[in-house]
Structure formats: C-alpha cells, structure tokens
Amino acid sequence: MTLLRERPVVSPSPASPAPRSRSYAAFPVHLAMLAWAVVTALPLLWAVVSSFKTDNEILNDPWSLPASPQGSNWVRAWTEANIGRYFLNSILVVGGALLLTMLLGSLVAYALARYEFRGNRVIYYTFVAAMFFPVFLALVPLFFVVQQLGLLGTYQGLILVYAAYAVPFTVFFLHSFFRTLPSEVAEAAFIDGCSHGAVFFRVMLPMARPGLVAVGIFNFLGLWNQYLLPLVLNPDPDRYVLAQGLAALSVSQGYRSDWGGLFAGLTIAMLPVLVAYVAFQRHIRAGMTAGAVK
C-alpha cells in the first residue's frame, strides 16, 4: 500500500555537507546504472535506427548509421507488409474491447462495492479468482466455445473474449476505488429523484475518474500486447492484430527478405506504447507496482 504514495524522486540532495566524497563514492554506482540503461535502451534504439537503413547496410554492418534515411521502409511496412492493416485491426479490436471492459467492469465493481445483497461476495470472488488461473488451461475449450458461437476469426468474437478476460482485473481494481468514494453526493442525487442508473453514470462514474484512467491505461497496454488469444481465435490473416501480424511477418522473413521493412514494422508496433508511456509514465509505474503488492 505504501507504494501508492508518490515517491520523492531524487533531488540532488541540497543539504549534503560533503559533496566531494559523495561524488567519488557515487562513481561506480553511476557506472552500474548506466550499464543497465545501455543494455536496456540499445536494442530499442538499434531497431529504430535500423528501420531507416537499406537492406545492404543492415546486412553488412549492424552498427553503422544510415547513409541516407530510408523513409520508404516505413511506407513499405505500412502498405505492402500490411502493418497498417494490422495496426487498424488492433485499434478496432482493442478500442472495442476497452470500451466494453470499462463499461462492464465499472458497473460490476460499483454494484458490488456499493450495494449489499445476498450473493455479493460470491460474485466478487467468482470474478477475482479467475485472475489467478493460467489462460493456457482455458485455451482449448475456449477455442470451441468461440467456434460454436460462430465468432471464430471475427472482430466481435475477439472483442468479447478480450473483454471477458480483462473484466476481472478491472473489477478487482475499481471495487476498492468505489468503496472509498463518499456517499453524500449519491444520497443527494437520490433525493433529487435520480434513478440508480443515473446516479451511477452521472455522479459516481465522474467521481471515479482517476481510478478509471489508471485501470484504463493498464487495460489498454494489456489488450494491445495480447498475443495468445488472437493467435488461437483469429486465424484470418486479413483480421490479424499487430502482434500477430508482426510475428507472422518475422517468421516468413526467412523466405523473402525485407529487413528494413521488418525493422520499420517493429518500430511502428512499439510507438503507441512509447507514446502512452511518455504521457502517463508516473501513473503507469506507480499504479503497476501498487497493483503488484496488493
């Protein structure tokens, strides 16, 4: 729980009386920190740089910089290698699943957190227990369930399954959030004649916005990075999501080589996550580590 607190990130200690000895002592520390930063960042930067190189440059010298940046790699990846199509499929599926997850998840979390009724705990644990089961266990029957519903290889099928597997975490996360909200505002709204549904949508949901944003970010990242479910449930290459398409592309790379295009595709796949991270990095790190400790 303590992890939820904003960490006082590193001011270069102003009141320190012996700065010289400190800087000596800190040198090997900086070296170690820098070393891991290089190990982390180098492969990522390398992929971005390589996405601007010609195949010849990639094949002959992995360390060189591009002589003239090849924007054509990106164009080729987006159009010919279908990365653009996979990207749009991902947006469609993840967008739909995210909306559905947030709507259903917040409704369930709110109903369970703010209403007393028989079976409340049972329903809560039914959802939460599912978070701890390995998806592999469900994989085979899930394939046939989706097939029998005629949803195999459809956007709708993928959206419903994504949402079904993302709702438990959402309920778990928002349940405690709705509990902490004050009840006075809701009571006032009831007295003013609001229905239960109106209280939820017009009073409680806006009040819960910080929680919704946090869980929305995690859900976006989780759904965007989904691979196992589409691999099994989405066999139609026209409807591949990004991770799936990229994996298929890198495997077929053994047969027809377009290294620059593949690096460009890889970079395109990393971009939305990077953008989300830069925009929300404090929330993401604080929330994810808090989620790990609960």
Partner 1 sequence: MKHGRWRFLVGALVPALVLHVVFVLSPYAQAFYLSLTDWTGVAGEAHFVGAGNYARLGGDSLFLDAVRNNAVMLVVVPLVTIGIGLFLASMMHLGGRGGRRGIAGSGAYQIVYFFPQLLSLVVIAVLWGFVYNPNTGLLNGALRGLGLDGLTRSWLASPSLALIAVMAVLIWSSVGFYVVLFSAAIDSIPRELFEAALLDGAGRWATFRRVTLPLVRDSVQVAFVYLGIAALDAFAVVQVMTVGPGGPDGATEVIGLSLYRNAFQYGKFGYASAMGVALFFATLTLAVLALRSGRKERLELA
Stretch 22-61 residues interacting with partner 1 (CB under 8 A): 22, 25-26, 29-30, 32-33, 36-37, 39-44, 46-47, 50, 58-59, 61
On whether the CB atoms of residues 230 and 244 are closer than 8 A, the answer is: yes
| 133 in contact with partner 1 (CB under 8 A) | yes
Cα 250 from Cα 223, distance rounded (Å): 21
Q: How far is the CB of 98 from partner 1 (least distance, A)?
A: 15
Interaction between residue 12 and partner 1 (CB under 8 A): yes
| Torsion 220-224-230-234 (CA) sign | positive
Tell me the residue type at 66. P
Residue 111 C-beta: closest distance to partner 1, Å: 4
- Pick out residues in 219-238 that bind partner 1 (CB under 8 A): 221, 224-228, 231-232
Residues 230 and 76: their CA atoms lie apart, in Å, by 24
Instruction: Write the interaction track for partner 1 spanning residues 266-285; mark x where CB under 8 A is met and - where it is not.
Output: x--xx--xx-xx---x--xx
For the chain, where are the alpha helices, taking DSSP H only?
Answer: 19-50, 55-60, 71-79, 83-114, 120-129, 135-148, 155-180, 184-191, 196-198, 205-207, 209-224, 228-233, 242-252, 259-293
Task: Output 179 or 285, the one with its CB closest to partner 1.
Answer: 285
Contact mark string toward partner 1, 72..101, x via CB under 8 A: ------------------------------
Q: Is 193 in the site for partner 1 (CB under 8 A)?
A: no
Of 91, 92, 128, 138, the one binding partner 1 (CB under 8 A) is 138
CA-to-CA separations, 222 to 109, 159, 249, 269, in angstroms, rounded:
19, 13, 22, 14
Site string for partner 1, 142-181 (x = CB under 8 A): xxxxx-------------xx-xxx-xx--x----------
Provide the 10 A C-beta neighbour count for residue 274.
Answer: 12
Size of the site for partner 1 (CB under 8 A): 105
Kindly state whether residue 117 participates in binding partner 1, applying the rule CB under 8 A. yes
Question: In angstroms, what is the minimal distance from the CB of 52 to partner 1?
Answer: 15
Residue 229 exposed, middle or buried by CB count within 10 Å (0-12, 13-18, 19+): buried
**Cβ atoms within 10 A of the Cβ of 100, count?**
17
What is the nearest approach in angstroms of partner 1 to the Cβ of residue 11? 8
Among 8, 24, 121, 180, binds partner 1 (CB under 8 A): 8
Q: Which is nearer to partner 1, 182 or 193 (CB)?
A: 193
Q: Which of 182, 197, 238, 255 binds partner 1 (CB under 8 A)?
A: 197
In the complex, what is the shortest distance from the CB of residue 20 to partner 1, in angstroms, rounded to a whole number? 11
Residue whose tokens read 């947030």: 102
First to last CA, the chain: 7
Judged by CB under 8 A, the residue of 68, 115, 238, 256 near partner 1 is: 115
Angle between helices 120-129 and 83-114 (to 10 degrees): 150
CB of 123 to partner 1, least distance (A): 7
